[in-house]
Amino acid sequence: MSERLEKTLLIVNKLGLHARAATQLVKLANQFDAEVTIVQGDKSASASSVLGLLMLESCQGKEIQVISEGNDAQLAMDAVEELIVGRFNENE
């Protein structure tokens, strides 16, 4: 059964959703049978597109909406949340 989940998360890492962080997010999101979308303000991007994520210009302190749809929606949401809350594994 396919489900849809939404969660608001805060970008906490110093550099925000920059190229390396976006690449990590894309690799992670592609592991699941789910479509993950990131929304910030009036912009949205698929979590499977590095360029799309960079276009959101998400910096430290910005709130983003994560939408996860599909058979692995919960697994994908949990993994994405862990990556973002964990500052994209960056030492700051």
Query: What CA–CA distances, in Å, run from 2 to 56, 69, 77, 87?
Result: 27, 7, 13, 29
Catalytic residue among 18, 24, 44, 54: 18
Q: Classify residue 49: in a domain, yes or no.
A: yes
Q: Classify residue 80: in a domain, yes or no.
A: yes
pLDDT tens digit string along 60-86? 999 999 999 999 999 999 999 999 999
Q: Classify residue 2: in a domain, yes or no.
A: no
CATH code at position 45: 3.30.1340.10
DSSP state of 31: T
Active site (annotated) includes residue 18:
yes
pLDDT tens digit string along 5-57? 999 999 999 999 999 999 999 999 999 999 999 999 999 999 999 999 999 99
Q: Is the dihedral of CA 82, 88, 91, 92 positive or negative?
A: negative
Domain housing 16: 7-89
DSSP state of 41: T
Q: Classify residue 35: in a domain, yes or no.
A: yes
Whether the pLDDT of residue 2 is over 90: the answer is no
Q: Classify residue 51: in a domain, yes or no.
A: yes
7, 6, 16: which is closest to 60 by C-alpha?
16
Q: How many structural domains compose the chain?
A: 1
Q: Classify residue 1: in a domain, yes or no.
A: no
Q: Please, are residues 83 and 26 in contact by the beta-carbon 8 Å criterion?
A: no
The pTM of the full predicted model, rounded to 2 decimals, is: 0.94
